[in-house]
């Protein structure tokens, strides 16, 4: 078994003018695992996720990705086109708001098929068949293929976003609060679906959330962030059952009270 990580952050610091959004973060993501990143609002979770996905340049440190052939890439040193190729084919990114991750005025099927088109698939029948398949995979009615995605509910739009990000069969999926803003029951179904698909498709997932119940359900390992730093990381059950860092202890205690 290849026990090298799929992606590694090494001492990553991201500064925006006066703010240090994340500081000296090192973590690994392994093939097929779900890594949860938790922490309070403003802790730097989204910044770190964007930095891992190549969209935010770190001020210091490196992010390395091992491709399917086992070649390492320092992703922030890549040319724009090489990075685009990886982020289109190897990675997916599900945004907290469907409006950041979807094109609301085109059809659900068009949204799902578009990444395949960008990867070079131009046969209309194949694109439609793939869109149908992935809509069904996320438990949406494939007959709604031609409906504009803006006519879907919030939970359904997140499913379309998920389908759009799975259609290229990525090795790594970034999820930034994918269930934020949804009703609790819709959230639970979507989380179940993510868990099921991640394990079926053997895709590695980096999942940002501020909700410990979500990481309990989904994440194999967990990194706890506070004020830009990872204060603790480890196997989810261990971190949550026996937190070591004072901030993780506080987080777990406040979950128990709520």
Ligand X SMILES: Nc1ncnc2c1ncn2[C@@H]1O[C@H](COP(=O)(O)OP(=O)(O)OP(=O)(O)O)[C@@H](O)[C@H]1O
Alpha-carbon distance of 4 to 249, in angstroms, equals 30
Nearer to ligand X, 116 or 230 (CB): 230
CB-based burial label for 18 (10 Å; 0-12, 13-18, 19+): exposed
Q: Is 45 in the site for ligand X (CB under 6 A)?
A: yes
Where helices occur in 28-172 by DSSP H, the ranges are 45-52, 80-89, 98-101, 108-118, 124-137, 154-166
In degrees rounded to 5, what are phi and psi of residue 63? -120, 125
# residues contacting ligand X (CB under 6 A): 12
Positions 169 through 208 that interact with Mg ion (CB under 5 A): none
Q: How far is CA 65 from the centre of its chain?
A: 15
- Which one of residues 4, 16, 246, 249 is an interface residue with ligand X (CB under 6 A)? 16
45-84: string of b/e by CB count within 10 Å (b at 16+)?
Answer: bbbbbbbbbbebebeebebbbbeeeeeebebbebeeeebe
Q: Is 178 in the site for ligand X (CB under 6 A)?
A: no
Positions 203 through 232 that interact with ligand X (CB under 6 A): 210
Q: Is 25 in the site for ligand X (CB under 6 A)?
A: no
Q: Which stretch binds ligand X (CB under 6 A): 45-53, 99-107, 152-160, 189-197?
A: 45-53
Q: Is 42 in the site for ligand X (CB under 6 A)?
A: yes
Nearer to Mg ion, 45 or 164 (CB): 45
Question: Which one of Mg ion, ligand X, none is in contact with 41 (Cβ closer than 5 to 8 A by kind)?
Answer: ligand X
Q: Is 209 in the site for Mg ion (CB under 5 A)?
A: no
Positions 153 through 172 that interact with Mg ion (CB under 5 A): none
- Least distance CB 65 / ligand X (angstroms): 21
Using DSSP's 3-state secondary structure scheme, residue 185 falls into helix
- Measured from the Cβ of residue 192, the count of other Cβ atoms closer than 10 Å reads 13
Q: Is 21 in the site for ligand X (CB under 6 A)?
A: yes
Cβ atoms of 132 and 116 closer than 8 Å? no
- Which one of residues 39, 109, 110, 115 is an interface residue with ligand X (CB under 6 A)? 39
Alpha-carbon distance of 73 to 235, in angstroms, equals 27
Q: Is 191 in the site for ligand X (CB under 6 A)?
A: no
Q: Is 46 in the site for Mg ion (CB under 5 A)?
A: yes
Helix 154-166 vs helix 184-201: crossing angle, to nearest 10 = 10
Q: Residues in the site for ligand X, rule: CB under 6 A?
A: 16, 19, 21, 39, 41-47, 210
Q: Residues in the site for Mg ion, rule: CB under 5 A?
A: 46
């Amino acid at each position: 078994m290849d026990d090298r990580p799929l992606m590694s952050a090494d001492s990553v610091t991201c500064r925006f003018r006066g703010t240090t959004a994340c500081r000296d973060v090192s973590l690994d993501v392994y093939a097929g695992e779900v890594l949860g990143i938790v922490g309070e609002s403003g802790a730097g979770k989204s910044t770190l996720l964007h930095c891992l996905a190549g969209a935010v340049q770190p001020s210091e440190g490196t992010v390395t990705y091992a491709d399917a052939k086992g070649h390492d890439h320092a992703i922030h040193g890549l040319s724009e086109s090489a990075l685009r190729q990886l982020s289109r084919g190897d990675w997916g990114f599900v945004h907290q708001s469907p409006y950041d991750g979807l094109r609301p005025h085109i059809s659900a099927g068009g949204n799902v098929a578009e990444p395949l088109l960008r990867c070079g698939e131009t046969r209309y029948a194949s694109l439609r068949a793939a869109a149908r398949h992935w809509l069904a995979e996320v438990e949406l009615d494939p007959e709604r293929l031609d409906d504009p995605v803006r006519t879907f509910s919030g939970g359904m739009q997140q499913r379309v976003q998920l389908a759009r990000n799975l259609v290229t069969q990525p090795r790594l999926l970034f999820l930034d609060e994918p269930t934020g803003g949804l009703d609790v029951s819709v959230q639970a179904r979507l989380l179940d679906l993510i868990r099921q698909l991640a394990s079926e498709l053997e895709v590695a997932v980096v999942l940002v959330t501020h909700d410990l119940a979500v990481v309990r359900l989904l994440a194999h390992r967990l990194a706890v962030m506070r004020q830009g730093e990872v204060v603790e990381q480890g196997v989810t059950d261990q971190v949550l059952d026996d937190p070591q860092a004072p901030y993780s202890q506080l987080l777990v205690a406040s979950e128990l009270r709520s």
